[in-house]
């Protein structure tokens, strides 16, 4: 069900007064709940809830060949599945653009921020490296899968153990793990998406709000640096608005990073 | 022989793994449920009845039940490539067949009820967990049903019949090896689904079905209990 014009109008009216349907302030996130270790056969896994939005993320590792331009580094692969389970709007069939974009945006946040120390995932330079698969599944889409997916990826990566590797055969011993975690940087790459509705900038939209969002900017920051960014949808942003987006992300990402650290201990 | 037989996880031959059952796990869905046999966990979500698209797939005489079974890429130790496979296509169809006899879908001509099943974590018997979750999710969605269905995978390890197989038993190496027999039944003991891989005599198979009937009430009870408690869950 697409959000009706009437609801859209009401959302805008509320926002003009700095209010939202669920009582949040425009810049306020929904409650974040992170649960790790939700799937035993995965190297690491996490269930993340932002309000009613829920994603599941699992990490798998396998030994493969490195890319020619990064012979001493492990590989990273992020895939997303927007499951029909998660919303009546998603149909069965090949991945749609939404799903592809989501995967790519999360991938770039992790990759560009160098959160994973990929050089620590090299087994034999030029021949054998670990490939890290980050697989993201939407379970319930009530808006802002982007940020939930980003948080889920971090939580799952932080808890992922490296499997045993059999040097003789050069193969992964699936289902047997070492005590080693994936080598990660200390600071977390936090990806946050700011939406513009009318003259308002909001964080963490519900599905209704996302429907009437005119444009969005996803920014991934690790520590003090911005590492990736993507603007989606066609509405323009003024420079003033853009600066506000950056300020908002900078303020909020620290808080989210703290919450993640706290919840996955 | 019964007393001597040791299962890898120490269970008795007719002992099920710990059952988890809960409805209302996917807020967006019209009905949803999670069902687990120990480490095997399946989640099912129901959407519908809703208009069938494309139009040429509509059945003007009765509604359509459409099931999709999927294993999450990380649900097993060696990653599965995400997306449909031949195996998942077959299990999807088997699941539909297991549920169709009890789902009173004739009342919804031209419409479809979608059941989406995802396996979160696998240690054998995933299709049975999926069917159990699907039956609960359909009931939770208020789709008229003649009864629930209840599914369990029976096994024969060498010569010993057991209930609720785990992976270590599916790979049984002694004697005649493993025989895997997932069976689904209605409340009044009619079989809506049965599959078999391995080797077994007709006599043993009959015994397996009887043993399945013995363990069903525990599963059925867990399903019903979850449905009765759904008021506070949704």
Q: What is the pLDDT of residues B182-196, one digit of tens each?
A: 999 999 999 999 998
Asked if the Cβ–Cβ distance from A139 to B43 is below 8 Å, we say: yes
Examine residue A93 and state whether it is found in any structural domain, yes or no: yes
Mean pLDDT per 10-residue segment, chain B (234 residues) = 77 96 97 98 96 86 94 95 90 94 92 96 97 98 96 95 95 90 93 90 92 96 93 51
In the three-class reduction of DSSP (H, G, I as helix; E, B as strand; rest coil), residue A74 is classed as coil
The reported pLDDT for the residue numbered A42 is 97
- In 3D space, the residue among B202, B218, B205 whose CA is nearest the CA of residue B155 turns out to be B205
Owning domain of residue A241: 11-263
Q: Is B47 on the interface with A (CB under 8 A)?
A: yes
Q: Can you give the three-state secondary structure of A151-177, one letter per residue?
A: HHHHHHHHCCEEEEEECCCCEEEEEEE
Examine residue A6 and state whether it is found in any structural domain, yes or no: no
Examine residue A4 and state whether it is found in any structural domain, yes or no: no
Mutation choice for A interface testing from B17, B18, B28 by most A CBs within 10 A: B28
User: What is the number of alpha carbons within 13 Å of residue B29 lying toward its C-beta?
Assistant: 35
The reported pLDDT for the residue numbered B21 is 98
The reported pLDDT for the residue numbered B232 is 55
Q: Is A206 on the interface with B (CB under 8 A)?
A: no
Of A38, A84, A92, the CB nearest to B120: A38
Placement of tokens 């987006």 in the chain: A245
Asked if the Cβ–Cβ distance from B27 to A59 is below 8 Å, we say: no
Q: Is A36 on the interface with B (CB under 8 A)?
A: no
The reported pLDDT for the residue numbered B2 is 47
Asked if the Cβ–Cβ distance from A83 to B116 is below 8 Å, we say: yes
Question: How much of chain A exceeds pLDDT 90, in percent?
Answer: 85
Taking CA–CA distances from B72, the nearest residue in chain A reads A137
Asked if the Cβ–Cβ distance from B77 to A41 is below 8 Å, we say: yes
Confidence of residue A1 (pLDDT cuts 50, 70, 90): low
Alpha-carbon radius of gyration of chain A: 19
Measured in angstroms, the CA of A152 and the nearest CA of chain B are apart by: 14
- Please list every residue in chain A whose beta carbon sits closer than 8 Å to the beta carbon of residue B121: 38-41
Asked if the Cβ–Cβ distance from A85 to B73 is below 8 Å, we say: no
Q: Across-strand partners of B114?
A: B47, B66
The reported pLDDT for the residue numbered B233 is 46
How many domains does chain A fold into?
1
Q: Is the pLDDT of residue A129 over 60?
A: yes
Asked if the Cβ–Cβ distance from B28 to A141 is below 8 Å, we say: yes
Taking CA–CA distances from A134, the nearest residue in chain B reads B74
* Structural domain boundaries in chain B: 19-229
Options 3.30.360.10, 1.10.3720.10, 3.30.230.70, 3.40.50.11540; CATH for B19-229 is: 3.30.230.70
The reported pLDDT for the residue numbered A95 is 74
Q: ω before B49 within 30° of 0 (cis)?
A: yes
- In 3D space, the residue among A141, A119, A139, A115 whose CA is nearest the CA of residue A130 turns out to be A119
Q: Is the pLDDT of residue A164 over 90?
A: yes
Per the model's pLDDT, the better-predicted residue between B194 and A94 turns out to be B194
- As a whole number of angstroms, the distance between CA A29 and CA A195 comes to 12
- Please list every residue in chain A whose beta carbon sits closer than 8 Å to the beta carbon of residue B39: 40
Model pTM greater than 0.80? yes
The reported pLDDT for the residue numbered A96 is 80
- In 3D space, the residue among A176, A185, A259, A177 whose CA is nearest the CA of residue A225 turns out to be A185
Q: What is the pLDDT of residues A220-244, one digit of tens each?
A: 999 988 999 889 887 888 999 999 9
Examine residue A39 and state whether it is found in any structural domain, yes or no: yes
CATH assignment of the domain containing A174: 3.30.230.70
């Amino acid at each position: 069900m697409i959000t009706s014009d009437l609801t859209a109008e009401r959302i805008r009216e509320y926002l003009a007064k700095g209010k939202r349907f669920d009582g949040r302030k425009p810049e306020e996130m929904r409650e974040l709940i992170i649960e790790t270790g939700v799937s035993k056969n995965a190297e690491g896994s996490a269930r993340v809830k932002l309000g009613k939005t829920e994603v599941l993320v699992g990490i798998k590792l396998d030994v493969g060949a490195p890319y020619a331009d990064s012979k001493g580094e492990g590989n990273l692969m992020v895939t997303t599945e927007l499951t029909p389970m998660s919303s009546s709007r998603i149909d069965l069939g090949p991945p749609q653009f939404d799903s592809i974009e989501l995967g790519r945006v999360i991938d770039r946040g992790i990759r560009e921020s160098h959160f994973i120390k990929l050089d620590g995932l090299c087994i034999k330079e030029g021949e054998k490296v670990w490939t890290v698969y980050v697989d993201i599944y939407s379970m319930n889409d009530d808006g802002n899968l982007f940020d939930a997916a980003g948080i889920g990826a971090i939580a799952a990566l932080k808890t992922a153990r490296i499997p045993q590797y059999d040097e003789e055969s050069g193969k992964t011993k699936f289902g047997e793990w070492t005590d080693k975690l994936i080598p990660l940087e200390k600071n977390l790459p936090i990806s946050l998406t700011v939406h513009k509705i009318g003259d308002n900038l909001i964080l963490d939209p519900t599905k209704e709000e996302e429907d009437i969002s005119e444009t969005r900017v996803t920014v991934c920051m690790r520590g003090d640096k911005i590492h990736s960014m993507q603007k989606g949808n066609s509405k323009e942003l003024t420079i003033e608005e853009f600066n506000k987006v950056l300020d908002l992300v900078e303020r909020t990402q620290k808080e989210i990073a703290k919450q993640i650290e706290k919840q996955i201990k | 022989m019964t007393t001597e037989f040791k299962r890898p996880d120490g269970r008795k031959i007719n002992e099920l793994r710990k059952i988890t059952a809960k409805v209302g796990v996917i807020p967006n869905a019209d009905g949803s449920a999670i069902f687990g046999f120990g480490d095997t966990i399946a989640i099912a979500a129901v959407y519908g009845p809703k208009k069938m698209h494309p139009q040429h797939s509509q059945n003007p005489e009765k509604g359509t039940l459409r099931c999709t079974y999927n294993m999450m890429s990380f649900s097993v130790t060696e990653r599965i490539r995400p997306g449909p496979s031949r195996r998942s296509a077959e299990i999807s169809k088997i699941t539909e067949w297991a549920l169709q006899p009890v789902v009173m879908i004739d009342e919804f001509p031209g419409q479809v009820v979608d059941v989406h099943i995802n396996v979160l974590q696998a240690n054998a018997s995933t299709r049975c967990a999926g069917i159990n979750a699907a039956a609960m999710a359909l009931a939770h969605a208020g789709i008229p049903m003649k009864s629930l269905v209840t599914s369990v995978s029976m096994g024969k390890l060498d010569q010993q019949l057991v209930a609720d197989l785990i992976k270590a038993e599916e790979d049984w190496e002694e004697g005649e090896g493993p025989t895997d027999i997932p069976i689904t039944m209605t409340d009044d003991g009619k079989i809506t689904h049965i599959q078999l891989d391995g080797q077994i005599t007709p006599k043993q198979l009959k015994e397996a079905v009887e043993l399945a009937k013995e363990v069903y009430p525990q599963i059925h009870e867990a399903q019903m209990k979850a449905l009765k408690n759904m008021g506070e869950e949704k």
